[in-house]
Structures are given as C-alpha cells and as structure tokens.
Amino acid sequence: MYFIRWPRATYIYFGGENIKGKDVIANERIRWKEVRVIDENGDQLGIMSSRDAFNLARDKGLDLVAIAPNANPPVCKIVDMGKFLYEKARKEKEAKKKQMKVEMKQMRYRLKIDKNDLDTKNRKVRKFLESGNRVKLEIWFRGREMAHTEKGFELANKIVEALPDAGKLVSEPKLSGRNLIFYMEPTKEVLKRLKERRDQNEKKDEDN
C-alpha cells in the first residue's frame, strides 16, 4: 500500500515503512504538468504527465523522486526510496569528509621578543600550519617603538624564514594602527600530506 503524508514535508511513508526524507520531492508531491522520467535501471522513458509517472512507479512497487526539479521539464527517477535516501546520506557524508576544515588561528609577537619566546611562538605557528590552518600574525609596537617600524618588518621576515617548509606568506606585512599584520597559509606540500593522511584514515575506517 502506497500513500504519502507530509507533516512539514519531512517524512515519507511507503510500503508500511517510515523513512525520514528531508527536502525530497517525491510521489504525490510531484505535481508538474509534465516530467522527464528515468527508470530504476537508468533508462530514459521520455516525457509524460506526473500522474502517469507516479502510477508507473507505483505499479513497479517503487517511488518517484524529483532528482532535477529545476530542469525544463523537471527530471524524475523511479527508485527504491530506502536505497535512494541511504545513498544520498552516504554521498553527503563522503563529501563532508573530503572537505578540509580550515580555521583562522592567531599569534601575536612583541617587537622586543627574546629568542626563547620567538622559538616557542614559531613552534605554535608551525603546529597551526601543519594542521591545515591559516594564521594571522601580529607584531605589537609599544610607545616609542613606532619610530622603528622597520624592525617589525625585519622580525616578520625572520618569522617567515623560520617556517619555509610549513607555511608561505599570503600577503606582504602591513601596518594597521600600532600593529604590523601579515598572514600565512600551509604550503602545497603540507596540504598534500594532510590529504594523504586523511585518505589513509578513511581507508582504515572502511577496512574496519
């Protein structure tokens, strides 16, 4: 028995099962005058009325789903709704996994910084970059230090030169008020290593 009830268009009822299908236009919700139909095997069935397409899907014990609602005419496919929603969720999950999350981190330096503090902050910046993040770096000028901004540019160069294998300069350092600001992002080699590591982890998950 096939029927549809749409409380806020979030649930699909078919064959006695209850499957959540957010944002899916299916079965009797398909009300265009004509639609282009693809069967469950991927074969083109041509253009027909929405009612005829729905009846055809129902006769096969399957569902009619709009896969390209903005096309002219809209494209619908005859599918097993359970499998369709499972594959849709799986593809969305895979796409999300492949998206590399990039955050903007921040590190501040004083103009008069000793070597130990400089090395410590540079190690933190390296860690940010090697995790795939962009970094905003600021050098503070205090009081009369503004009369020697060239030293700030020298310090900025020293920071960048200490991290050649981890990051690269996005834009030249610029003065903003009493701060010298510049940005770094991971090198191509770092991003490549991150991608390889991510792919290996995904393979392990699949094997498990």
Range of 118's domain?
Answer: 104-193
Same domain, 15 and 51: yes
Helix (H, G, I), strand (E, B) or coil at 48: strand
Do the domain assignments include residue 60? yes
How far is residue 127's CA from residue 158's CA, in Å, rounded to a whole number?
17
Q: Please tell me the pTM assigned to this model.
A: 0.53
Do the domain assignments include residue 14? yes
Of 25, 52, 84, the residue that ends a domain is 84
Do the domain assignments include residue 204? no
Do the domain assignments include residue 17? yes
CB neighbour list of residue 42: distance below 8 Å, 6 or more residues apart: none
Same domain, 78 and 153: no
Do the domain assignments include residue 145? yes
The CATH number assigned to the domain holding 120 equals: 3.30.110.10
Question: Whole-number mean pLDDT of the chain?
Answer: 85
Within 10 Å of residue 12's Cβ, how many Cβ atoms?
Answer: 24
pLDDT single digits (tens) 95-109: 776 665 668 999 999
Written as one letter, the residue type at 92 is: E
User: For 166-189, what is the mean pLDDT?
Assistant: 94
pLDDT single digits (tens) 41-54: 999 999 999 999 99
**Which one-letter DSSP state was computed for residue 145?**
G
Q: Which of 21-25, 101-105, 168-172 has the lowest mean pLDDT?
A: 21-25
Task: State the virtual CA torsion across 58, 62, 65, 71 in degrees, nearest 10.
Answer: -70
Same domain, 108 and 165: yes
Number of structural domains in the chain: 2
Helix segments in the chain, DSSP class H:
50-59, 81-98, 115-130, 149-161, 188-207
Do the domain assignments include residue 173? yes
- Candidates 171, 125, 174, 137; CA nearest to 153 is 174
Q: Is the separation of the CB atoms in 84 and 63 below 8 Å? A: yes
Do the domain assignments include residue 203? no
**In the predicted structure, residue 5 carries a pLDDT above the cut 80:** no
pLDDT of residue 99: 62
